[in-house]
Amino acid sequence: MQQKKDSIYSEYREKVADFVFDKNVVSVFDDMIRRSVPGYATVVAMTKVFAEQVAEDGAVCYDLGCSLGASAIAMRRGLEHKKGCKIIAVDNSEAMVSRCRHIVEQDPSNVKIDVRREDILDTKIENCSLCAVNFTLQFLSPENRDEIIRRIASNTRPGGMLLLSEKICYEDEQEQNFQVKMHHKFKSLNGYSELEISQKRRALENVLVPDTTKKHFSRLSEAGYSQFYLWFKCFNFISIAAVK
């Protein structure tokens, strides 16, 4: 994916507005997420492995909060040797969806990806074998998180899987400070200035509200997942595989 370098927060701003997935963010999104989320490329690439493992012929899979379709495309790679599978990829940002459709069209495959502009709170989940929710639940208001996870779980086939990747926070203040410091160091070594890091942090403050790993586990358990495993972790970012 050929994209512009992210310099959105490089100039000093008197007032930093709340972060939104608008045209400007979409135009640099691939570069932004790779330089901001430690392990992003690994988490996305492994979607193929999980898809190959859990999906059978005719499987219906979901990528909720698909952005530019990176997870859906990795998922597609794991479904290519099965028959009649399809992926439903959902995002509520018009700018994301229109670029995502273009990217998906450029990716030849026999696995259909249906890209929908929709709020994931309105997405009908049916007969789900694999659902990826990568770095998206964190943007939903806390009261909607239980509901969406419950809905995914109750419409997932026995043995089906949810891949949930998130930025997290820690109950222990010392650990919270340590992990955030390491995350900021990671961003700084990826070329972001102190100004960029602090302005983006302010922009995300009221928009991205992380949960603890414990909270994610209790939500998954209450939703009806029988197994949930922390399969990836780097600083304050995790990915969980939850099996129904």
Ligand X SMILES: C[S@@+](CC[C@H](N)C(=O)[O-])C[C@H]1O[C@@H](n2cnc3c(N)ncnc32)[C@H](O)[C@@H]1O
Which positions touch ligand PRE (CB under 6 A)?
Answer: 32-33, 36-37, 135, 167, 200, 204, 208
Q: Report, in Å, the least distance between residue 206 CB and ligand PRE.
A: 13
* φ and ψ of 205, to 5 deg: -50, -50
Q: Report, in Å, the least distance between residue 28 CB and ligand PRE.
A: 10
Whichever of 134 and 199 has its CB closer to ligand X, that residue is: 134
Whichever of 145 and 157 has its CB closer to ligand X, that residue is: 145
Amino acid at 117: R
In the shown chain, the binding pattern of residues 52 to 81 toward ligand X, with x for contact by CB under 6 A and - for none, equals -------------xxx--xx----------
Both tokens assigned to 212: 């603890």
Instruction: Tell me the residue nearest to ligand X as measured from the CB.
Output: 65
Question: Pairing relation of β-strands 227-234 and 156-167?
Answer: unpaired
**Residue 167 interacting entry, from ligand X, ligand PRE, none, C-beta within 5 to 8 Å by type:** ligand PRE
| 92 annotated to bind ligand | yes
